A = this chain, B = another copy of it.
Amino acid sequence: MTYELYYWPGLQGRGEFIRLALEDAGAPYIDVARSAEHGGVRALQAMMAGSCARGPSPFAPPFLKTDDLVLAQVANILHFLGPKLELVGATEASRHHALQLQLTIADLIAEVHDTHHPASTQLYYEDQKPEALRRTQSFLDARLPKFLGYLERNVQDNSSGAGAHLLGAEHCYVDLSVYQIVEGLRYAFPTAMKAMEPKVPGLVTVHNRVAERPRIKAYVASGRRIAFNENGIFRRYPELDLVPSWASATT
């Protein structure tokens, strides 16, 4: 079957975590809102507005339509796709552990979003710049090392992962998401990431392994992957590219 992915066109955003899984697995899919032939963004808006016979309508994109289901929430979609695309271990425990890590990554992503939208999700970044500066400093000082240190520990503690997997010995959708957060954090916070990366060699190894996977390489080279920009979650605002407090003494 052909999956239908619904996400805002023009930005990677949360949709990119789903795109990476579909691309890596070589699964056929339509990126509906980017396809005029399939109705574009109006098709997405119609799905949001309508009642949905296949279950709860989505609160927000991304959502995925299959022959039987419409599912929203990134971690839920990946939890669903994981076994079908062979991107998660076979046991119930593996699936719950992958979901657990993906939800922690979702928490990190929400905090990255809050760096440029700390006062209100309704206002532009330009209308909350002082708050964003304060929130970003706090994020880079305390939260970035906490989240990445936690994920790094999972790579290091995973005795069957050869230092290049978060869970077990097999490639997993969580690894794809780690690739994406490393890419995104490098884009948004180059100064902090330059200081951070030597402390998280396992995550860099996971990132590099994913980047070399043939279908990911082909996807990035194809031009289908939207470039990072200031509509997405990971945004580059030079005034927020701050030096973390823990880095000033060591770099």
Spell out A's residues near B (CB within 8 Å). Answer: 51-52, 54-59, 68-69, 71-73, 75-76, 79-80, 93, 96-97, 99-101, 103-104, 107, 110-111, 114, 118-123, 131, 134-135, 138, 141-143, 147, 150, 153-154, 157, 166-167
Contact = CB atoms under 8 A, between A and B. Distances in A.
A147 B60 CA distance: 11
Nearest to A101: B56
A50 to B, nearest CB: 10
3 tightest A-B CB contacts, nearest first: A120-B138, A73-B103, A55-B97
A154 to B, nearest CB: 5
B76 A96 contact: yes
A55 B134 contact: no
B118 A131 contact: yes
Contacts of A56: 97, 100-101, 154, 157, 166-167
23 contacts: A52-B157, A55-B96, A56-B166, A57-B154, A58-B100, A59-B104, A69-B96, A71-B100, A73-B99, A73-B103, A73-B104, A76-B96, A76-B99, A76-B103, A79-B96, A111-B121, A120-B142, A121-B138, A122-B138, A122-B143, A123-B138, A131-B131, A131-B134
Given A110-B110, A134-B131, A150 B59 contact: yes
A127 to B, nearest CB: 10
B153 A57 contact: yes
B59 A73 contact: no
A208 to B, nearest CB: 21
B142 A122 contact: yes
